[in-house]
Amino acid sequence: MSAGRFQDKVVIVTGACRGIGHAIALAFAREGAHAVSICARDPSDITAKMESIGAKFSAYTEDFARLTQKRASEVIAQVVKDCGRVDVLVNNAGIIKRAPIVDHPEADWNAVLQINLSAPFYLTQAVCKWWLATGRDQASTDARFKVVNIASMLSFQGGILVPGYTASKSGLAGITKAFANELAKERMNFNAIAPGYIATDNTKTLREDPLRSKAILDRIPESRWGAPEDIAGAALFLASRDADYLNGTVMNVDGGWLAR
Ligand code: NAP
């Protein structure tokens, strides 16, 4: 592995076993990072890919449906113990549940809010506590901790059939700014990416519906679904030194969707 922008940085990517998180973790690894995946399922696929490119990689299995504040602290403490430190946290793991708003099931609402909003909140709290207590003192005097949250266009729009998802992603954009407001001065950056329509399991239902698929494609100036790799470049930029003066931003990576 040749030296890159993230040489020897420890980068946690939640939900790196597939989809957008998978592409982000591989992109960091290709730039020299020690990538750390936290997924709910078996990480053997991404483990094999990391091995094939000679990357340093660690995988942890955790179900965010049950992640508490206390458990998030334990998870981060374990990563620090095993990997020595943490430099970047990418809160990517997320789910979506579709049902009409009036009948939207309580269980779906709670699951989406827990996985998409509470879990990133607890993990970010835990890395912040570690950085403020220990990490910052162990790092070089100009080093910064970077948090990148994967938000959504539904951080800005209402969406259809997905009220829990909209609430969670609007909340994630909100706490991105809230963390920045309190902690930017502690050499920390908190930013988010709002992906457009990306071809992953998350959008499978839409892509398989010819009418919805056509309506979506007709509005995207790029005239194509995004690829997970389209999001990886923005994540690397936000985690890099080039973005040291960005704090509390939500960057649209949407092929122009929101420009319409
Ligand atoms: P995806 O292919 O469905 O991947 C979701 C990831 O989240 C998986 O790695 C999954 O891990 C993880 N995850 C789900 N439930 C989990 C749980 N209970 N505990 C731990 N991890 C869990 O979806 P994606 O499109 O890549 O989505 C990644 C992020 O981008 C999400 O936050 C999503 O909301 C956001 N996003 C996606 C789009 C899009 O168009 N695709 C647009 C805007 C925002 P396992 O594999 O272990 O289940």
Per annotation, catalytic residue among 60, 165, 197, 245: 165
Q: Token pair of 166, please?
A: 């909209």
Q: Nearest to residue 127, comparing CAs of 106, 144, 112, 141? A: 144
- CA of 15 relative to ligand 1 center, distance in Å: 6
Separation of alpha carbons 257 and 68, rounded Å: 35
Exposed, middle or buried by CB within 10 Å (0-12, 13-18, 19+), for 122? Answer: buried
Q: What is the pLDDT along the chain (260 residues), one digit of tens a residue?
A: 557 999 999 999 999 999 999 999 999 999 999 999 999 988 999 999 999 999 999 999 999 999 999 999 999 999 999 999 999 999 999 999 999 999 999 999 999 999 999 999 999 999 999 999 999 999 999 999 999 999 999 999 999 999 999 999 999 999 999 999 999 999 999 999 999 999 999 999 999 999 999 999 999 999 999 999 999 999 999 999 999 999 999 999 999 999 99
- Whole-number Å distance, alpha carbon 25 to ligand 1 midpoint, is 13
Q: Does the CB atom of residue 21 touch ligand 1 within 6 A?
A: yes
Distance 90 CA to ligand 1 centre (A): 12
Residue 179: count of CB within 10 angstroms of its CB: 22
Minimal CA–CA distance to 239: which of 119, 62, 91, 128?
91
Of 248, 251, 238, nearest to 27 by C-alpha is 238
Report DSSP state, residue 229. H
Largest Cα–Cα separation, the chain: 55
Q: Which protein residue's CA is at the shortest distance from atom 20 of ligand 1? A: 40
Residue 13: CB within 6 Å of ligand 1?
no
The pLDDT value given to residue 41: 85
Going along the chain from its start, the domains and CATH numbers come out as 10-259 (3.40.50.720)
